[in-house]
Chain A
Amino acid sequence: ETAVFQTPNYHVTQVGNEVSFNCKQTLGHDTMYWYKQDSKKLLKIMFSYNNKQLIVNETVPRRFSPQSSDKAHLNLRIKSVEPEDSAVYLCASRVGTGGAETLYFGSGTRLTVL
């Protein structure tokens, strides 16, 4: 049962363009994340958001920025894409900031930079 929705599923663009990916969760969770999964399936956390406050930024390049209008939405903007940005971007959410709650993932957005 899908409860974390990501759009678009795929996006192809050229170097230097700006892209924006959307994520919405309907679980009522307080914390949302963006992960990057590269071609080798390696998962790397990019951002963690709790109630619209950025609580972790794992030193990603400045061209990446999270954007949130409320706790159910967390978008990802890339200002000027580079070839190494080609990857699958996964949005996830979980209940709160403490304890050991399960992460729920969206289906991902596959970005290809030409």
Chain B
Amino acid sequence: GEKVEQHESTLSVREGDSAVINCTYTDTASSYFPWYKQEAGKSLHFVIDIRSNVDRKQSQRLTVLLDKKAKRFSLHITATQPEDSAIYFCAASPSNTGYQNFYFGKGTSLTVIP
């Protein structure tokens, strides 16, 4: 099955700096890569995604890059703010079976220092 590796378990940045979280996946059939955010004591919510037909997607301060050849994708957060502090999960979803399951990385705990 798919295995998603999330390389940074913790990340600390100063407010205003950029943060980058990297993930790799194993299944070449994976074609959808969402990112989820989990704030302290709360559940996960969707932040941004990318499909395999593009290699870059931006939404305000968030950008996702996808390198299909290397089976790698990353989340870039610019101009970080304290409210960006949370655990970020990357996920990969193969869509070749008629249904989709989401396989999550282990999460990266991002701390933005004011």
> Hey, which bits of chain A sit against chain B, CB under 8 A?
31, 33, 40-43, 45, 48, 50, 55-56, 58, 90, 94, 97-100, 102-108
Q: Mark B71-114, 1 if CB is under 8 A from A, else 0.
A: 00000000000000001010001010011111110110000000
A-B contact count (CB 8 A): 62
**A106 surroundings in chain B (CB, below 8 A):** 43
Beta-carbon contact of A102 and B34 below 8 Å: yes
**A48 surroundings in chain B (CB, below 8 A):** 99, 101
Which listed residue, A45, A90, A102, touches B49 by the CB 8 Å rule? Answer: A102
Beta-carbon contact of A45 and B102 below 8 Å: yes
**A94 surroundings in chain B (CB, below 8 A):** 100
How distant is A68 from chain B, measured CB to nearest CB, in Å?
A: 16
Which listed residue, A56, A99, A102, A107, touches B95 by the CB 8 Å rule? Answer: A99
Beta-carbon contact of B51 and A55 below 8 Å: no
Beta-carbon contact of B49 and A108 below 8 Å: no
Beta-carbon contact of A42 and B106 below 8 Å: yes
Beta-carbon contact of A105 and B93 below 8 Å: no
Known contacts A100-B51, A105-B45, A107-B42; is A41 also within 8 Å of B99 by CB?
no
Known contacts A100-B95, A105-B43; is A45 also within 8 Å of B100 by CB?
no
